[in-house]
Chain A
């Protein structure tokens, strides 16, 4: 990789200031960014590490809301006992990736096949940055694209606790990313279904399924629905039609296991 200047601030305010310079890039656990830089697909002039910032660590729960610091690793979320979100975190990548990779890094990168975006969108999470709070419905704006501005840092994420929830991931076995993943969360005021890995537009809510499940929360409620292959990802691992079918199958499994 090309060389850069490394900085490791200890507060969010210092990190935001360090990111103000041209071609500066925030570094979370680095499990995506460092491989990308080795391939010279990214060459920031400055890396600002977020791993030394105490206010981005730690998780807490009020019973209604789980708050996870932006710098918390997948391994720590997996060990937290947070139901479907912990299960999801424990199936990201491999143990060494989970020991470094962070929830803030995953959500900031918004890989179209990443797991956390599905959890955040289905949970109706709130992404809290140094500047503002962003509802998950407004946060994911497309492939590797989010509502984050330059030099804006995810300090924490609030996940409302559902009545029940489940995440089903059809794993691409080499990369362990989701070929398709579906997160279903049932709240007192309705069901939310978020799909990752399938659409060329990145994570999205399957609103037809939500309507059907609000009327009848069972896998049978999906029987009459069809998923269009339009705009589904096509690669050597799966055709658009294959992914469209997986969306329906995995949603049914998630509902059955909720």
Chain B
């Protein structure tokens, strides 16, 4: 067992983990932040996408110990301080960007990184950026619309 410390959604956290513990496992089972989903556990689906030091990564393909000292943001950190939905989350709700919702945390985290790097992405750019996030319900069209709407609102 090793001790690990990081900042998650603005709060300092510490834990004792097996060296093989994945970041997604630490978030879900130790911190009980179950918004980060495990869809495939084979690095294909992107439902586990979180931000580490501002970069989107697959939480299931990074060791918790590699996030020592890092600033981690999860879907729980995407809401406004008063608990209301953030701009991207609200756009997904407004534009029916989710059906079962399982992939949505990863979609929102990927979209957030995209819009930080590209404030006005084209449909092609959005589709390419979401290549690591799989959705089996929506056919992606409304996810694209949601992200375009969020981009317009964020300016």
Residues of A with Cβ closer than 8 Å to B? Answer: 1-6, 8, 30-31, 34-35, 38-39, 47, 49, 51, 75, 93-97, 99-100, 176
Contact = CB atoms under 8 A, between A and B. Distances in A.
A100 B56 CA distance: 9
A68 B86 CA distance: 38
Contact of B110 (A6, A95, A97): A95
B41 interface: yes
Contacts of A5: 19
Contact of B66 (A1, A49, A95, A99): A49
Interface string B76-93: 000000000000000000
B40 to A, nearest CB: 10
Output the residue of B18, B63, B65 with the most chain A CB within 10 A. Answer: B63
A6 B132 contact: no
Contacts of A31: 43, 61
Contacts of B42: 35, 38-39
Contacts of A35: 42-43, 61
Given A96-B57, A96-B58, A6 B46 contact: no
B131 interface: yes
22 contacts: A2-B20, A3-B19, A3-B20, A4-B19, A4-B20, A6-B2, A6-B65, A8-B65, A8-B68, A34-B43, A34-B62, A38-B42, A47-B63, A49-B65, A93-B132, A94-B46, A95-B114, A95-B129, A96-B49, A96-B58, A96-B132, A100-B57
Contacts of B43: 31, 34-35, 97
B145 to A, nearest CB: 20
Interface footprint category on B = 20 to 34
A94 B2 contact: no
A213 to B, nearest CB: 31
A176 B131 CA distance: 9
B57 A34 contact: no
A51 B63 CA distance: 12
Given A94-B131, A95-B129, 15 more contacts: A3-B18, A6-B20, A34-B22, A34-B61, A35-B42, A35-B61, A51-B66, A94-B132, A94-B133, A96-B58, A96-B61, A99-B56, A99-B57, A100-B58, A176-B131
Nearest to A79: B117
Nearest to B51: A99
Contacts of A39: 42
A51 B68 CA distance: 12
3 pairs of A and B residues whose beta carbons are closest in the complex: A94-B132, A6-B19, A99-B55
A237 B57 CA distance: 28
Contacts of B41: 38
B87 to A, nearest CB: 20
Nearest to B17: A6
Nearest to B69: A52
